[in-house]
């Protein structure tokens, strides 16, 4: 995070951030670097502590020796900040399923507060496989870790990583179970795509630019395409990915949330409740794909080599998924919303392409680039200089990098931690949104579980357009 962003932000309440899964991939790649940057920007209160829960004997030294804290292999992290983060970290060994260990954890947190001489907000960050989520939440609840600190002056909050369940039924169960121990105001369901800076700009852009605000509907827009293409494959997450696949991993959450932000009505106020209200309405208006439409409106593919990677010759788990969705409201009547994602493709690119006018005739496009090269471009038609009346497509390009030069932006995970510590739910998914999103994809999830009908294979590094020329 750049210094000028930091300067304008207040220091967070003193907290203890308890990370379940500290030795896991996400904690090491995203969470600890995010804490490093927050610490570097002096946004964490000096009494803040990090408790790293692990089942093994891992020391803080061992943990940090494997992490590139500043996320840049070409630079060394600031030793003074590294010293501070190491000083704040306490590794804590326990079994995540053994009830008595949670009693001891509670005592340990009480002891840390005594040591710090103050009550700390408790943030439990669950960066763990989905199957242990239920047992951990239950144990936290049953052993009193969901309550405020011993002096009752601070709050306990749960930060949960997706996926929230693996289908509609399991999501309902998980929500019910979590709700038994933690109030909705204590739960922060992370969807880091919502915390990306450019995602937050979508609504602002729509509502503060009258030229677009006035034409944000089916009379002017013929199609919307939301794409998350990745170059990386499954990166060793074989067990996780075999249970998940592209539809559950990215479409059900990240892409449906982006769709909702693009298509929802502007909220009555720019606050969490008003935003979630319009988003919920929109998600409920997306028409679930009917079983008889699946062949036509849901496409899937798998990259070559995936089966060997997961050690399963007959795996038909998709690494690419695409849905053609419709929204049942007057604003979006007959406008197809294509959402698609794939791994091992030619490029890393997340963007939202809004097509104005007939895509097959003269038309304009608005391209909201979420990452990389964050920005927005508008594709227009212009007369090519010369004696002939020749039309040429030209691009007006707004790039964050050029326009906000000294004003870089916090990483999504820094934002997630800051907002959860402040208790701001705007950029997190509510339980109703999670359920509405599962409802949209449920028939496809169920159909794709049964067999590999229609699954095609693509070579790693394939261009998305080439892949789709085969599938669609
Ligand atoms: C995660 C998925 O939620 O998002 C990963 O589990 C995916 O499979 C990642 O690679 C993409 O995130 P980003 O921020 O790199 O686009």
Distance (Å, whole) CA 389 – CA 383: 6
Length of the chain: 472
Distance (Å, whole) CA 163 – CA 246: 11
Residue 230 CA, ligand 1 centroid: distance in Å: 8
**Residue ranges around ligand 1 (CB below 6 Å):** 192, 230, 249-250, 350
Output the pLDDT for position 406: 60
Is 220 a known active-site residue? no
Ligand 1 nearest-atom number relative to CA 237: 8
Q: Per-residue confidence of the chain (472 residues) as pLDDT tens digits? A: 554 444 445 568 889 999 999 998 889 889 999 999 999 999 998 999 999 999 988 888 888 887 877 777 777 788 899 899 999 999 999 999 999 999 999 999 999 999 988 888 999 999 988 888 999 999 999 999 998 776 666 789 999 998 899 999 999 999 999 999 999 999 999 999 999 988 988 998 888 999 999 999 999 999 999 999 999 999 989 999 999 999 999 999 999 999 999 999 999 998 999 999 999 999 999 999 999 999 999 999 999 999 999 999 999 999 999 999 999 999 999 999 999 999 999 999 999 999 999 988 889 999 999 999 899 999 999 999 999 889 999 999 888 888 876 656 778 999 999 999 889 999 999 999 999 999 999 999 999 999 999 999 999 999 999 999 975 4
Residue 254 CA, ligand 1 centroid: distance in Å: 9
- The H or E element containing residue 364 is strand 364-371
What is the CA 193 to chain-centroid distance, rounded? 4
Neighbours of 428 (CB within 10 A): 21
- Rg of the chain on CA atoms, in Å: 23
Q: How many helices (DSSP H) and strands (DSSP E) are in the chain? A: 19, 16
Distance (Å, whole) CA 369 – CA 352: 7
Q: Which of 66, 68, 113 is nearest to 90 (CA)?
A: 113
From atom 2 of ligand 1, which residue's Cα is the shortest distance away?
249
Pocket test for ligand 1, best of 230, 319, 345 (most atoms within 8 A of CB): 230
Among left, alpha and beta (phi > 0; psi -120 to 50; other), residue 183 is beta
For the entire predicted model, the pTM comes to 0.93
From atom 9 of ligand 1, which residue's Cα is the shortest distance away?
250
**Beta bridge mates, 69:** none
Output the six-digit token pair for 431: 């339980």
Distance (Å, whole) CA 424 – CA 117: 26
Q: Which of 192, 254, 276, 425 is catalytic?
A: 254
Ligand 1 nearest-atom number relative to CA 350: 16
Full DSSP string of 148-160 = --TTS-S-EEEEE
Q: Is 37 helix (H, G, I), strand (E, B) or coil?
A: helix
- The H or E element containing residue 365 is strand 364-371
Distance (Å, whole) CA 202 – CA 218: 18
Output the pLDDT for position 6: 46
Distance (Å, whole) CA 223 – CA 359: 8
Distance (Å, whole) CA 280 – CA 120: 33
Ligand 1 nearest-atom number relative to CA 254: 3
Strands (E), 287-332: 298-303, 320-325
DSSP summary character for residue 14: P
Residue 110 CA, ligand 1 centroid: distance in Å: 35
Ligand 1 nearest-atom number relative to CA 249: 6
Q: Which of 404, 426, 403, 406 is nearest to 415 (CA)?
A: 426
Asked if residues 269 and 421 have their Cβ atoms less than 8 Å apart, the reply is: no
Output the pLDDT for position 73: 72
Pocket test for ligand 1, best of 34, 234, 253, 254 (most atoms within 8 A of CB): 254
Residue 228 CA, ligand 1 centroid: distance in Å: 9
The angle at the Cα of 398, spanning 392 to 402, to the nearest 5 degrees, equals: 130
Residue whose tokens read 């409106």? 297
Output the pLDDT for position 7: 44
């Amino acid at each position: 995070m750049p210094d000028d962003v930091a300067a304008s932000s207040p220091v967070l309440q003193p907290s203890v951030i308890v990370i379940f899964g500290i030795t896991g991939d996400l904690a090491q790649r995203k969470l600890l670097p995010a804490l490093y940057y927050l610490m570097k920007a002096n946004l964490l209160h000096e009494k803040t502590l990090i408790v790293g829960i692990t089942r093994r004997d891992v020391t803080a030294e061992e943990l940090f020796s494997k992490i590139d804290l500043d996320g840049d292999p070409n630079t060394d992290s600031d030793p003074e900040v590294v010293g501070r983060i190491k000083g704040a970290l306490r590794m804590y060994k326990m079994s995540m399923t053994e009830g008595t260990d949670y009693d001891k954890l509670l005592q340990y947190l009480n002891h840390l507060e005594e040591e710090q001489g103050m009550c700390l907000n408790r943030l439990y960050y669950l960066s763990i496989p989905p199957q242990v989520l239920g047992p951990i939440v239950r144990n936290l609840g049953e052993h009193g870790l969901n309550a405020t600190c011993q002096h009752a002056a601070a709050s306990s909050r749960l930060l949960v990583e997706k996926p929230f369940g693996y289908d509609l039924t399991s999501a309902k169960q998980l929500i019910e179970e979590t709700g038994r121990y933690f109030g909705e105001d204590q739960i922060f369901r992370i969807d880091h795509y919502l915390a990306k800076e450019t995602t937050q700009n979508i609504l602002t852009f729509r509502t503060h630019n009258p030229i677009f605000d006035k034409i944000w509907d089916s009379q002017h827009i013929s199609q919307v395409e939301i794409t998350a293409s990745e170059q990386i494959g499954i990166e060793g997450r074989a067990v996780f990915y075999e249970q998940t696949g592209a539809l559950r991993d990215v479409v059900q959450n990240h892409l449906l949330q982006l769709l909702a932000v693009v298509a929802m009505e502007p909220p009555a106020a720019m606050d969490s409740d008003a935003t979630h209200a319009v988003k919920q309405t929109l998600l409920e208006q997306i028409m679930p794909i009917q079983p008889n439409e699946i062949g036509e409106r849901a496409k899937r593919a798998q990259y070559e080599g995936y089966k060997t990677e997961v050690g399963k010759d007959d795996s038909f788990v998709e690494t690419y998924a695409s849905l053609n969705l419709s929204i049942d409201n007057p604003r979006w009547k007959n406008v197809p919303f294509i959402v698609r994602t794939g791994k091992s493709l030619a490029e890393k690119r997340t963007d939202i392409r809004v097509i104005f006018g007939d895509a097959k005739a003269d038309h304009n496009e608005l391209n909201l680039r979420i990452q990389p090269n964050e920005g927005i471009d508008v594709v227009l038609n212009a007369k090519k200089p010369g004696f002939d009346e020749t039309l040429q497509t030209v691009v007006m390009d707004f790039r964050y990098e050029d326009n906000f030069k000294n004003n870089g932006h916090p990483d999504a995970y820094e934002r997630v931690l800051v907002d959860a510590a402040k208790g701001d739910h705007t950029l997190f998914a509510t339980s109703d949104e999670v359920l509405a999103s599962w409802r949209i994809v449920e028939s496809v999830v169920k159909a794709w579980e049964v067999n590999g009908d229609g699954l095609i294979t693509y070579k790693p590094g394939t261009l998305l357009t080439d892949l789709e020329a085969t599938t669609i």
